[in-house]
Amino acid sequence: MVKVYIAGLLWEKENRMRLEKIDNFCKNLEFDTYLPHRDSGIYDGKSDPLPIFTRNKDEIDACDFMIAILDWKGIGSGTAWELGYAYAKNKKVFAIAEDKKSLNKEFRMCVMCFNSVIIVENLKELKNELKKENLI
């Protein structure tokens, strides 16, 4: 079964709901998913963070590819780390970013992130890219 790591901002409920929408999209394609906030929790600032870090890193190692949400608020430091680590491990990363035409305007996304992902604007475009890459 194809395994997908889903990355993005976790702190606000709205962001987690967007990630869960991607999770449902993936499950409809019969992919196995890893959703960090669901599967390893959100760091509370008090407990030992190492188990969350280790699990997330191990899940990136085990995934076939990653889907990340990159939006106007920018890329969170955790998401940026996940993108870089996945890239270093030769994992394909599909990034959902609204309004692709504006990505290199207004310092919206750094060149390191922009050039290490396949950028799509929505789930329909994501599905087309997954087909192009023979993942579905």
- Residues 90 and 65: their CA atoms lie apart, in Å, by 9
Q: What domains are there in the chain, each with its CATH number?
A: 3-132 (3.40.50.450)
Tokens 């790591």 belong to: 5
Q: Which of 97, 125, 123 is nearest to 110 (CA)?
A: 97
Name the amino acid, one letter, at 74: G
Q: What is the pLDDT of residue 77?
A: 86
Q: What is the pLDDT of residues 101-111, one digit of tens each?
A: 665 555 556 67
Q: What is the pLDDT of residues 87-105, one digit of tens each?
A: 999 999 999 987 666 655 5
Q: How is residue 136 written in tokens?
A: 């579905």
DSSP bridge pairs for 69 = 96
- Residues 45 and 68: their CA atoms lie apart, in Å, by 24
Torsion, CA 84, CA 87, CA 91, CA 92, rounded to 10: 100
Residue 73 pLDDT class (50, 70, 90 cuts): low
- Residues 49 and 5: their CA atoms lie apart, in Å, by 19
